Structure 1
């Protein structure tokens, strides 16, 4: 009989897909401050493009953390008994990230409305603050949390994390958010990330979705 609560002893669940997702957050939050600072004062049309992109990246981050809160932490707390110090540190990091994220909507709105240099500088600095907090958290998560998940969650339970994010996405955003994740993926990682999706969705993302993402990146990055 299949064990539905723990992986087979000695058998690890493949959790590398989260590393691929983290890579996208690292890249987009590194690029965003430069994109904001490059917008000419008063160019509200360009500011709207960049602001929309940043909001989409933040939506992806929200879905990622919500999935962890619902589907990862409760199981690890029940089965893996992480140390109190680790839990405390991860909670502090989450609070720090959330505190910065909560300041971004107002900063984005103010900058998008007028594209003033001062508000752009404030927005870029806030995004850099978010990236610093988030990268610290992602590093710790990859070093300490993913090994626990690999030992204590079944492949089906782990897959539910990705399925949660996909199900909660606005379907119009699906090609762009997946494009962000796949942009720096190796061929093997692309196969892994797409393999969990229904065949028609895979075909869509490999064809029309890939074209939509290339066009989107040119518009956002101006390249």
Structure 2
């Protein structure tokens, strides 16, 4: 439970800093936002590592591929269409061979064929844009 509180506080701080930076667009607010995000990363990584060890093993054991695909499809419904290639790139970048195979199974073949090629390219472009601002 403590992990959730720490991550939630870090996300709220990031949202506040983002609003300040958007309003001012100053280098000072940009750098403060970047520092806030940098401080958020260790607790977030700890939480995600913990979830991956505990939750993904349960998903692998108790959900069918179709049920897991349904979860993913519901999540994709909230992602703006223009961001989907970036998301695909992120998901594929660090995926193990097993997770990549599950992902491929959950997505229609034409979509996977296109996104597995386009996603990494769009992700690199997005990363250059984001990190060039620092």
Query: Normalising to structure 2: TM-score of the pair?
Result: 0.73
SS of 2:34 mapped into structure 1: helix
Distance 1:213-1:140 versus aligned 2 partners, 3 A rule: closer
The CA deviation at 1:135 is: 1.6
Q: Does 1:159 align with 2:69?
A: yes
Match of 2:44 in 1: 134
Q: Which runs of 5+ in 2 are unaligned?
A: none
**d(CA) in 2 for partners of 1:99, 1:110:** 17
Shift of residue 188, structure 1, vs aligned partner:
5.7
Query: Match for 1:215 among 100, 122, 125?
Result: 125
Provide the aligned length of Structure 1 versus Structure 2: 131
Q: Which has the larger radius of gyration?
A: 1
The correspondence for 2:13, drawn from 91, 103, 121, is 103
Aligned-pair Cα RMSD in Å: 2.7
Which digits, 9 at most, give the CA deviation of each residue in 1:123-176, with x for residues without a partner? 233213321221221222123333333333333333322222222211111001
Alignment of 1:18-167 (within 5 A): 91-112=1-22, 113-117=24-28, 119-167=29-77
Measured after TM superposition, the shift of residue 105 of structure 1 is 2.3
| Distance of 1:199 and 1:153 partners within structure 2 | 21
TM-score, normalised by the number of residues in structure 1: 0.48
More helix by share: 2
Alpha-carbon separation, structure 1, partners of 2:95 and 2:7: 25
Q: Does 1:181 pair with 2:84?
A: no
